[in-house]
Structure 1
Amino acid sequence: MSENLKISVSGIRGIIGKKDGLTPELVVRFGSAFGSFCEKGKILVGMDTRPTGVMVKHALFSGLISAGCDVVDAGVLPTPVVIFLVKNLKMSGGVIITASHNPIEWNALKLVHSDGRFLTQNEGKRVLDIFENKKNTSVKWNGLGKINTVNNEKLFESYMNKIFKEIDLDLICKKKFKVAIDPVNGAGSRFSSLFLKRLGCNTFSINDKPTGIFGRSPEPVQENLKMLGNFVKKVKADIGFALDPDADRLAIVDENGNPLGEEYTLALCVNHILSKRKSDVVINQATSLATEKIAQKFGCKVFRTKIGEINVLMGMISHKSIIGGEGNGGVIYPKINTGRDSFVAMALILQTMAENNKKISELKKELPQYQIVKTKIEKESVNLSVIQSKLKKLFPDGKFSFLDGIKVILKDSWVLIRPSNTEPITRIIVEARDKKTVTILLNKIKSLFF
C-alpha cells in the first residue's frame, strides 16, 4: 500500500490528488462496500470543512446509493454530532468525511455503526472483505437509493438539547463565563460559538470560519495553542477552548493564557463526574497517570485498553463505566454520547468551574501533576523484538505491558513505544512527575532506535 493511502478496519484515508492516494474511484467502491454492509436503509453523512470534502462526498453518495442505501446529507457537522444522530435518528449507519488532525491534503471516511459508535475490528473486517473481494451489493436501476439534504442547524439543536438535559444549565448560564474558542476553521466553526452562547457565555472566537483552511496546525496540542493563549489574555477570558478539525477532541487554555495540556481535559471531566457518582474508569494505554490517580482518590478502579476510541468505548460497556476516554482530549460520557465529544467536555468543564466557583487554573492545580511528552520516530519499519530486548536491559525493574505496543511502567512514570497504524512512524510517549525525568527517559528511549 502507498504511503499516500491507508486502508484498515477503521476506514480509508489518503491524500487527495495523488494517483496512489484517495481517489474518487476508491471512495465509490468503499461507499458501496459500507452500503452493502448496512444492508440498505438510511445512512447519515456528515463532514468537516476540508476543501476536498465536497468531491469525496459526491463519490461516497454514488457508492452508497448504488448499494440501495438512502443518503441523509447533513453537510458540515462535527463528528460527535453525527455519532449521536445516527443512534437517535435510528439510521442504519453513518459516514463522517474527515481526516481529523491530519494535514489539509488528507481526507478520510470514518464509518459509524447503527448503535452510534465506530465499527469494531470484526465489523471493520467485514467491510474490508466486501471492499477487497468485490462482494458489494449492486441493485437494479429501480432500487437505487435516494439523497435527502437536511438542515444541519436543526439537527445540532436536537443534539444540544440532549446535553442541556444532563447538565446544570441554569447554574452555568448564571456565571456568564467569558470563553475564547478556536475551532481551527473546522467542523466546530459556528456550532461551538452557538453552543457556548446557549450556555450563557460571552463568546470570543478565532479561526471560526468553516473554510477548512486551518488557522493553525490542526492538532490541539500545547505547541499549537499560542495564538489562543494570547487571545485569551487579550479578551480577558475565563477559559479558552481549542478543537481539532472534526471537533471530537478538546484542549484547554487557562485564564492566564497557559495551555493545560490535552491530558487534563479528560482528567478534569473524570474528577467532576466521580465526585458525584463512583464508577470504574476506562482509558487507553497512552492516557496520563493523572486520570488514574483521580479515580483511585475516589476508590474507583481503572481499566486500560488499546489506543482507539472504539476500544475504550467497548471497554466502558464491558465494565459499565459512566466516564472514560483518551488522554488526547477525547472525553466519552455515554449518558449523552457514545463517542469522544468536545461539546460534552466543554459543558462538563464549565459546570465544574461553576459548582466550585474556581478558576480553571485553580482546578488544575488541585489535580495530580504530571509532565507528558509525545514524539515520534520516522522510520518505515521498526523491529519491536529488538527494541523490547534493549528495554529490558535498560529497565530491569520495569513492569512490561504488551497490550498495545510496548509499555514500561516505572515508579510514578512510564514510557510507551507504539508503531502507528496509519502512518510510517513509531510514536513514543513518556510521562513522569517532572520535566527533568521526562527528558532523561526520552533521551534513553530515542537512543534505542539509532
Structure 2
Amino acid sequence: MSSVSVGRVLRRGVCAGAVGALVVAGLGNGAAFAADVAQSDQLWIQAPYEQTVTVAPDGGAAQYRSLALGLYHDNQNFTVTDGRLTVDASGLAGVAEVAWPGNCTPNDAGTVAVCDTGDVPTRYSAQVQLKVRAAAGASVGAQGAIEYSAEATGGPDGTLVAPQGSAETFVTVGSGPDLGVSAPQDVTGVETGTSLTVPFSVTNTGNETAHGFSVKMWATYGLDVVTRYPQCTYTGPDDSGQYTPMTYVTCSFDTDVAPGATVELPEPLRLAVTDHALYERFDYEVQPGGGATDLDGSDNNRTWRIDADNTADFAVRGTEVSGAAGDTVTAGFRFVNRGPAWVGNVSSGDPVAVIDYYLPEGTTAVSVPDTCRNAWTSGDDPAIGHYACTLPMWAKPDLKVGFPFQLRIDRVVADATGRVVARPDYGTSFAFDPNSRNNSAKVVVNPTA
C-alpha cells in the first residue's frame, strides 16, 4: 500500500525500478509474445544521488559511511549475468576517500574500480557496499562526485550497457547529528484483535549530539495506537469520509542522543490490530530537535506493512425499472462493503474498486454520475453502452455508494438486462473477498416477471 511519509525520492533508479517491476509483472513467462515481436531489455545502475560524510576531527580520521550500489535489468525473460559496475571516485579528490570491498578491483591510483556484481536481478538489491569518509583537512561544505558505468552479459543482443551518465553520487562533507530509525520486518497473516510492538529505536551516526528529537507517526484505519506518551498529540482517524481515515501522532522528546548512541522511546510502542484491519501500514519519522538539520534523511523514515488475516465482502446491487419508449428512468446500482474489513490502497492511491456497467439493450445514458466515464472499447457490443465507475482509494465496512444513472428508453425491449461487475483497478478479482458471486448484478428495464 503507498507512502504516507517518504524521504527524498532518488532522481534515478528507484522510479525506473518500480516501473520495470510493473512491466515485468505483466510479461509473465513470455508466452504472450508473438514470435515475430522483438523483446527489449535495459541495464540500470542503482546509486544514491546524494551522500553526506562527517567532517574529520582535528588530528583524527573521519568515520566511514556505507554506500550501497547495485545493478538490475528490466525483462525477466532474459537471464543477465556477469555484471560489471565501474566506479569512478576520482572526483572525490581532496573531499573524500573510498574503501573498496572485496568484489571491486581498483586501479593503481585507487580512484577507479571495476566491481563484480554477479548475476543481475530484475529488482534492485545491494551488490556492492562501498565505504566513504571525509578526507583529512576537507572542510564542511566541500563536495565531490562519484560517477558510474556498467555492463553485463545477456539481453537480446548478448550484452547490456547502462545509459551513459544515468547515475552519479554527490558526496558532501557535513557536520551535525544524523538520526536514523531501525527498519522493521513486514508481517503477514496477523490475527485481528492482537497487538504488536513497533521495533522503534533511534541511533545517531553523526558527529554531533542531537539535543532531543521529534517523531511523527501515521497509522492506517485498521490499527489503533495503544501507547500514549505525554510528549505526543494524537488526532484521527477522520470519520467524516472527506479524508483517508488515519491516526496522526506528533511527538517531541527531550532525550539527548550522543554520536554513536541508540535510545528507545520511554516505553514500548504498541499497536492494536482491530477487527476491521486488512492491508495496514504504520509510518514513522524522526528528526533531531533544537532546529538542527539531519545530515542524511535516507534512514529517518520507515514503513511497517502489516497484513491481517481478514476478509472484506464487496457486493453490488442492481435494480429493476419500467418505462415506455422515450421515457427517462433511474436505472443505477449500488456498491456496498459488507466487511468486516476496510480496504485501502493507501500506498498506490488507486481506486479500491472499479465497477463496469453495461447498459440494458435499447437504452442510452443521459445523466452519468461524476465518478463514471464512458469505457466503451472495440471489444464491446457497439449497441450496448459501457461505463466504468470508480470508488475512492478506501472503503470502510458498511460503506454504501449509489450510482444513479439516468437512462432514456430508446426502444422497449422486454427484460432488457444490463450487467454490473465490480473488479480491482488492476486485475479481475479481489483476493480478500470471500464471496465473488455478489461482485456482479443485473439492471433490468421492463422486466416481464
TM-score bin, normalised by smaller chain: under 0.3
TM-score, normalised to structure 2's length? Answer: 0.25
Q: Which has the larger radius of gyration?
A: 2
* Structure showing the higher helix proportion among its residues: 1
Higher relative contact order (CA 8 A, sep 6+): 2
Provide the TM-score with structure 1 as the length reference.
0.25
